[in-house]
A and B are shown apart, each in its own frame.
Chain A
Amino acid sequence: MPDLLARVFMVAGALVVLIGALGLIRLPDFFTRLHAASVVDTLGLWLLMAGLILLSPSWVVTFKLVLILALVFVLSPLSAHVLARSALSSGLRPWYRHERTRRLRADKPKADKPQSMP
C-alpha cells in the first residue's frame, strides 16, 4: 500500500515539475518564468520527497529527507524572491499583454501602489 501511494506521489511530482518546465519555456518574460520555475518546483519537490519518504528504508533516511524538505521549503521561495527583487531593482519591468497598459504603468509609477483606505 505505501508502495502504491509512493508511486502516485512521485508520478504527480514529476508531472508538476514537467508543467513547470513547460512554463519556463513558454512564458513571455523573466518574472512569469521565475514564477513557473519556483512555485511549481517547490510543490513538485515536495511530492517527490513525500514519495521517497514513504519508500525510505530507515528512520535516518526519513529524517534526512525531512531535513532536505524543510530547507527547500524555505530556500527555494527565498532564492526566487532574491532573483525577482534584484531583477526589479536593476530596472527590469514586468511584461504586459498590451503595450498600452505598459505605457500607462510606465507613465504613472505610483499606479501600482494600493490606494489608501478612506
Chain B
Amino acid sequence: MIEFINAAADIVLLALLLASAVMILRSASPLSVVVISTIYSLTICMLFVVMDAVDVAFTEAAVGAGISGVLMLSVIKRVDEPVSRNAANENAWPSPLALLCAAGLGIMLIAGTLDMPLYGDPGAPVHQHLVSRYLFESKIEIGIPNTVTSVLASYRGYDTLGEVVVIFTAGTAVLILLAGVTQASPVSPRPGFMAAPVIRRVLLRIVPLVLLFALYVQFHGDYGPGGGFQAGVIFAAGVITWGLLSRTGTMQSIISERWTLFAMGAGVLLYGLTGIAGMFAGGQFLNYSVLAKSPTAGQHAGILMIEFGVGVTVAFTMISLFMSFNREEP
C-alpha cells in the first residue's frame, strides 16, 4: 500500500513537472513564465522531499519558489517594453531540423538512462565508494549528526568554497552591470497596494519571525536540515519582504549599499581565512581538525565558521541584487 502511494505521488509530481515545463514553453508573457517556474520549483521541492533529500528541498523552496521569483519580477518591472512573443509565431510548428535534433537528443538521453542503476539501488556504484565512509565514519570523524552538513562543509569543503565564490562572482557581475542604473518607476507596490493595512500589518509581524528562523537554520545546520545556504536565502527573503512593504528608498536609507557589498566579500573572506587558519595550525587548507584541542571540536568550530561565511555571502548577495534593482532616481 505504502509503495503504491509513493509511486502514485512520484507519478503525479513528475506529471506536474512536465506540465509546467510545457506551459513555460507555450506561455506568451514573461510574467506567466515567472509564475509557472515558481510552481515548477515547488513541485521539484516536493520531489526532493519524497527522495528524503530534505536539505536540498529546503534550498529549492527558499531559492526557486521564493527569492528568484521576486528577483525575476523586479527584472520584468525594470524592462520598459515587456518582451512578448510574436503572436503570429505562437502556433507555428518548429522547423523540421530543430524537431529532428531535439528528438534525436531525447532518444539518446533516454538510451543513456537504460545503463544507469535503478533509483535507490544500494548496489549502485555511487553507493559503493565513499558513501559508506560518509555514513558510518562521519559521526566519529566530524562528530555532528547531520551527514549532509559534514559532507558539504568538511569532506567537500573545497567544493563548497568554490560554490560560494561562484555566488559572489555572479552577484558582483550583475551588480557591475547595474552600477549607477536608477529607476524612474519603482518596483515597490502601487500606492493602493501599500494602503492595504492587513497585508502590511501581518507581514511586518511575520518578518522578525522569518529572520529568527533564518538564524535557527544557520546555527542548527549541524543537527538538522539547514546550513548557510538555506539560512542566507531565508534571511534575505525576510529583508526583501520588508523592502517590498516599505517605500522605495527606505531600504537604501537604512541599509547602506556599500555595507551590503562589503558583507558579500566578507563572507567569502571568512571562509577562506578559516581554511588558511588550518594551514597555520599545522594542517592542510580547510582541515578544521587542527583548529582546536580535539579533532571533533575543531571540526565543529570550523564548520560553524564557514557556514556563517556562506550565510553572510548568500544573504547579502541577494539583498544587494534586490537593492540595485530598486534604486531610486536621485
Answer whether A75 and B206 are a contact pair too, CB < 8 Å, given A81-B198, A82-B199.
yes
Complex Cα gap A89–B191 (Å): 11
Q: CB < 8 Å: which of B190, B198, B203, B206 contacts A89? A: B190
Instruction: Check A85 against B206 for contact (C-beta < 8 Å).
Output: no
> Can you name the residue of chain A whose Cβ is closest to the Cβ of B201?
A78
Flag whether A86 is at the interface (Cβ < 8 A): yes
B303 to chain A, nearest CB (A): 24
Flag whether A104 is at the interface (Cβ < 8 A): no
Complex Cα gap A81–B192 (Å): 14
Complex Cα gap A23–B190 (Å): 31
Counting chain B residues whose Cβ lies within 8 A of the other chain, the interface size class is under 10
Complex Cα gap A106–B198 (Å): 27
Flag whether A74 is at the interface (Cβ < 8 A): yes
Q: Is the interface of A mostly helix, strand, loop or mixed?
A: helix
Instruction: Check A74 against B193 for contact (C-beta < 8 Å).
Output: no
Instruction: Check A89 against B199 for contact (C-beta < 8 Å).
Output: no
Q: Is the interface of B mostly helix, strand, loop or mixed?
A: helix
For window 70-87 of A, CB contacts with B under 8 Å fall at: 74-75, 78, 81-82, 85-86
In the complex, which residues of chain B have a beta carbon less than 8 angstroms from the beta carbon of A75?
202, 206
In the complex, which residues of chain A have a beta carbon less than 8 angstroms from the beta carbon of B190?
89
For window 17-42 of A, CB contacts with B under 8 Å fall at: none
In the complex, which residues of chain B have a beta carbon less than 8 angstroms from the beta carbon of A74?
202, 206
Instruction: Check A78 against B202 for contact (C-beta < 8 Å).
Output: yes
Complex Cα gap A86–B192 (Å): 9
Instruction: Check B202 against A89 for contact (C-beta < 8 Å).
Output: no
In the complex, which residues of chain B have a beta carbon less than 8 angstroms from the beta carbon of A86?
193
Counting chain A residues whose Cβ lies within 8 A of the other chain, the interface size class is under 10
> Can you name the residue of chain B whose Cβ is closest to the Cβ of A79?
B199
Instruction: Check B198 against A78 for contact (C-beta < 8 Å).
Output: yes
For window 64-91 of B, CB contacts with A under 8 Å fall at: none
Flag whether B118 is at the interface (Cβ < 8 A): no
Complex Cα gap A89–B199 (Å): 15
Complex Cα gap A74–B193 (Å): 19
Complex Cα gap A85–B198 (Å): 11
In the complex, which residues of chain A have a beta carbon less than 8 angstroms from the beta carbon of B203?
78
Contact with B along A54-93 (1 / 0, CB 8 A): 0000000000000000000011001001100110010000
> Can you name the residue of chain A whose Cβ is closest to the Cβ of B190?
A89
A83 to chain B, nearest CB (A): 11
> Can you name the residue of chain A whose Cβ is closest to the Cβ of B192?
A89
Answer whether A81 and B193 are a contact pair too, CB < 8 Å, given A74-B206, A75-B206.
no
Complex Cα gap A9–B202 (Å): 29
Instruction: Check A85 against B202 for contact (C-beta < 8 Å).
Output: no
Instruction: Check B199 against A81 for contact (C-beta < 8 Å).
Output: yes
In the complex, which residues of chain B have a beta carbon less than 8 angstroms from the beta carbon of A82?
199
Complex Cα gap A82–B206 (Å): 15
Flag whether B109 is at the interface (Cβ < 8 A): no
Flag whether B196 is at the interface (Cβ < 8 A): yes
A-B pairs, 5 with minimum CB distance: A78-B202, A89-B192, A81-B198, A74-B202, A82-B199
Name B residues whose Cβ lies closer than 8 Å to a Cβ of A: 190, 192-193, 196, 198-199, 202-203, 206
Name A residues whose Cβ lies closer than 8 Å to a Cβ of B: 74-75, 78, 81-82, 85-86, 89
Sample of 15 further A-B pairs with CB below 8 A, known A78-B202, A85-B196, A86-B193:
A74-B202, A74-B206, A75-B202, A75-B206, A78-B198, A78-B199, A78-B203, A81-B196, A81-B198, A81-B199, A82-B199, A85-B193, A85-B199, A89-B190, A89-B192
List 19 contacting pairs A-B, 8 Å CB cutoff, sorted by A. Answer: A74-B202, A74-B206, A75-B202, A75-B206, A78-B198, A78-B199, A78-B202, A78-B203, A81-B196, A81-B198, A81-B199, A82-B199, A85-B193, A85-B196, A85-B199, A86-B193, A89-B190, A89-B192, A89-B193
